[in-house]
Amino acid sequence: MEDDVCRVLISREQIARRVRELAAEIAGHYTDSHRGLTIVAILSGSVIFLADLIRHLPMKMKIGLITVSSYPGQATKSRGAQILESLRGEVRGQDVMVVDDILDTGTTLRLVLDELRARQPASLRTCVFLRKPAKAPPDLQVDFIGFDIEDVFVIGYGLDYNDHYRNYPHIGVLRAELYRD
Ligand code: IMP
Ligand code: MG
């Protein structure tokens, strides 16, 4: 796996530090939430970030999952997102925070936000571990961001290429000859 990565963009130590900071920022926004927080994680890319983040959050919460497919097979460019399995359970009247691995073109997040808005939560916030500002549409507001990164295809810490490399502990740049655009 190491051999397939040409460059470590963010190390596991940097990740751990930033996740702790991010959790403190998030906790500060939900101190007076009496409605109950529901974290809605977008599968599969957010699983590792989700697991780390929620263990630094001290408040009572529920976890909901939503499965979205954006990169069919060996692709690194989004071809339109599709909800494969929607959230189970109610979020009406609750504080909801969506968690995703990366905000690239914004198609995935927009789709999920539309789906959740229709279910009438009391509030709806968003948290992404990574954002590529070069591509992310300026009108798509994200409340909490781990890192802004350059526009390169990255893997690790939950992010995949063709369903591999999610267990790579850092954020790495895959060697270009290993993927097709
Ligand atoms: P968007 O819909 O274009 O914003 O893409 C978001 C989804 O595409 C994320 O949830 C990821 O699963 C995937 N994605 C976007 N950029 C990358 C990348 O650099 N590496 C791995 N997956 C990515
Ligand atoms: Mg993915």
Estimate the crossing angle of helix 47-54 against helix 12-29, to 10 degrees: 60
**Spans in the chain with pLDDT lower than 70:** 71-74, 78, 181
Percentage of the chain lying above the pLDDT 70 cut = 96
Question: What atom of ligand 1 comes closest to residue 42's alpha carbon?
Answer: 10
Q: Which residue among 52, 100, 101, 104 is the active-site one?
A: 104
For residue 148, the CA-to-ligand 1 centroid distance in Å is 13
Say what the pLDDT of residue 102 is.
97
Say what the pLDDT of residue 71 is.
66
3-class SS at 31?
coil
Residue pLDDT, tens place only, 82-135: 999 999 989 999 999 999 999 999 999 999 999 999 999 999 999 999 999 998
Q: Longest Cα pair distance anywhere in the chain, in angstroms?
A: 51
Say what the pLDDT of residue 109 is.
96
Say what the pLDDT of residue 73 is.
64
Q: Which residues line ligand 1 (CB under 6 A)?
A: 42, 45, 70-71, 78, 81, 100-109, 153-155, 159-160
For the range 160-168, what are the long-range contacts, defined as Cβ-Cβ under 8 Å and sequence gap of 24 or more? 160/44, 160/45, 161/74, 161/76, 162/73, 162/74, 165/1, 165/4, 166/44, 166/45, 166/47, 166/48, 167/1, 168/1, 168/5
Question: What atom of ligand 1 comes closest to residue 101's alpha carbon?
Answer: 10
Q: Distance (Å, rounded) from C-alpha 82 to C-alpha 153?
A: 21
